[in-house]
Chains A and B, each alone.
Chain A
Amino acid sequence: MTISNVEKVEYWKWEESNWKNPDIPDCSGSLITAGVDIGSTSTQAVILADGELYAYSSIRTGSNSPNSAIDAMKWAMDGTGLSLEDLRYTVGTGYGRVNVPFADKSVTEISCHARGANMIYGPSLRTILDMGGQDCKAIHCDEVGRVTSFMMNDKCAAGTGRGMEVIANLLSVHVEDIGKMSFMIDEEPPPVSSVCVIFAKTEATNLMRAGWSKEKVLAAYCHAMALRVARLLERNGMEEDFAITGGIAKNIGVVRRIERILGVRALETEMDQQIAGALGGAMIAKELVEKKNAKKIS
């Protein structure tokens, strides 16, 4: 084998997915609204039929945001018989919200995540931690999912999904395995730098050289990440019930450590927490259509 034909494994690449609600075989005649969340690393498209979750997709954001939005929506529509023309109202959200070519309105990801998390976890939800690709946000909301306060940090990739991808590649561990592996240790190690992902990467390299196992280094990184976002949550005020959205919500290594630091238990769900923003967008789209219809009638 020569160097040129060695297969390069990209450990950071998480699995893209789509889903269609088996309980809604046909949505013809329904009010179809959609939300598209273009994040820095992932894009989600959600379709609602009369306010019920009908289909969604989650893909990696490419270099062209409008194309990512179209690709995500087309994949969500796969097997549904729907086309872009069937969307009554679409809300674009996320980092690239102004780049959704078929969106009727753009809404901040803060409002959309609160609204989506409210639908996923119910009206008792008050505190949301959205751990995105390149930032994290602590959000407070009321019983209808309206934001009452927020605090965001996007100063550095440490404490974000991108930071986790960097560590996955460095340690040659698939990003989806990090959480579980980070608990395969005898004792919780001290955290690595939580200030900068470049420092964290350097520190992790040095720890590997010093003989630490991959599991121990992952535990130290997850610990650091949890500490960083816990500080953000504490600053914005922590109120139960509490839930985590975004890609990192799938990493139990970080989630369990946040719970341990804050002494709370995050609400759990069968749904994909990564779609919260797009789901909120689709819900807001539905409300806007209903508001318009009500105005017409009056």
Chain B
Amino acid sequence: MKARHLSIIARKEFRGLFNERTILLAVLLQLFIALFSSFLMVGLTSMYDPSSLSKYSRYKYNIAYAGNDSALLGYLESSPDINSPRDFRVYRMDLSTAVAALKERKLSAVVYVPDTSPAADEPVKITLYTLTNDLQSAIVDVKLKDVFLKYEKDLRQVRGSRLSEQPVPVRIPKTTGGGDFYEFVYGLLIPLLVFMPAIIASALVIDLITEEYQHETLETLISTPITFSEMVWGKVLACELLVPIQAGAWLLLLMVNGIAIENAGLILLQVVVSSLILILLGALTALHYRERTAAQFIFSTALVVVILFVLALPSNPLNLLTRLAVGTAGPEQWIVLGATGVIVIVLGYLTQKYAERVGKSHHTG
């Protein structure tokens, strides 16, 4: 195998990408996803942790209190802690009127409390009326939950003598805000975004190889001094080179967005090595089927299987990306890298053998 031949093929593929301006589309796509995911971040973060929403509002909510007196009324009327203002303006109302007002959005919630005594055998059942599925009621619910939890603690104390076991106590001070986006950004967004170029590259290698078959340009290519396996490896090389470029661009975009990423170099190294597994799998599928529809179908199904399997393994490469980005990866990263490397070598050997066999049959046949 000659390095010059590989670079000829790789350069040919790059020229193709630039001529067709497909590369432009890839850049556009990246920008689009970047913009969109920052929009998504607001949505997804609130999905992960809706309590982060309550920070955004310093509004006092009107709620109605119906039914019997209880300690809950006092909690609703007082502020959550000394420094912050009260969350609610509470009105004593008749239940039917209150629910009608809620429907007209003149209230944010209605609480009904029965006359169960705190020390009774049966539980206290409070009925809470809120608005269906909207942003504002999400915030109100978060605030109400805190109040209910306080009241629950009270009641538990009253009934404490009836409990047989107490949990191991850990006192957790009140969180000071921040850290909401963290797990989503580092534990999901970064590994997925950084790994996406590997998936794109592996789909691309299928396109490049099947194209030679289906456009019947293969014979011309093999009649040059370039061998069949050199052609395959040249295409693999071209796709592989795209990975660090795109993944690096992601990291840069994230950093520009103010997301600090540690070990960017090591992250790229991991991505480059593990992406080779996908690209070689793609190449093998393409060599086997020689037809795009079938190859892409089988490959994308296989991709789901492989990624699901990898994610189910502890300290998998994707997890390593997360740990590298937050800076808690230890020396085990080199073991993972080594294991990935071994798989790459095995797949590389298979690809080489398969390509040689296909190449021979082309020359004889």
Question: Does A associate with B in a complex?
Answer: no
- B interface residues, Cβ below 8 angstroms from A: none
